[in-house]
């Protein structure tokens, strides 16, 4: 289990200099948890920027705001999809960290999972609608 936790943590934080410096200085579980929580804050900030940028693109493009065909507007779809993803991320990470429940690694594994999924989601938000595409 500890090897799995170490591999997951390494994969989650990667080679980011700030994260690696934080982890190198961590001498306790609490300090390691703090490093991952700081990385989660950075990942969430990037996610929020990507979400806001995509929402602005959708709101600025009248093709995403059409309601004449009975489908929801693009901004409503994005909001709903993102809300559902937040719930899904939590449940997936609860499941992934389940084997560590009640132990000192549970929070670390849960937050590491959230970092990983948040980074993936940020890339998805940045690329779901290529810049040159437009719905007509």
Residue 96's domain comprises 29-127
**Is the Cα torsion angle 14, 16, 17, 19 positive or negative in sign?**
negative
**96 located within any domain:** yes
Is there a domain that residue 13 lies in?
Answer: no
Alpha-carbon Rg for the chain, nearest whole angstrom, is 18
Task: Assess if residue 3 is contained within a domain.
Answer: no
Q: Is the pLDDT of residue 75 over 60?
A: yes
Checking if the pLDDT of 21 tops 60, the result is yes
Instruction: Answer whether residue 19 is part of any domain.
Output: no
Q: Where are the alpha helices (DSSP H) in the chain?
A: 2-13, 17-25, 29-60, 74-96, 106-127
Q: Label residue 120 by pLDDT band (50, 70, 90).
A: very high
> Is pLDDT larger for residue 71 or for residue 111?
111
């Amino acid at each position: 289990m500890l090897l799995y936790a170490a591999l997951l943590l390494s994969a989650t934080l990667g080679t980011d200099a700030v994260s690696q410096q934080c982890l190198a200085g961590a001498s306790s579980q609490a300090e390691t948890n703090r490093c991952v929580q700081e990385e989660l804050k950075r990942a969430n900030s990037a996610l929020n920027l990507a979400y806001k940028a995509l929402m602005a693109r959708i709101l600025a493009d009248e093709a995403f705001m059409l309601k004449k065909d009975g489908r929801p507007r693009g901004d409503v779809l994005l909001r709903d999809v993102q809300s559902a993803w937040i719930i899904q991320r939590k449940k997936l990470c609860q499941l992934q960290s389940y084997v560590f429940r009640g132990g000192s690694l549970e929070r670390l594994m849960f937050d590491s999972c959230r970092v990983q999924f948040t980074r993936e989601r940020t890339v998805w938000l940045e690329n779901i609608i290529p810049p040159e595409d437009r719905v007509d």
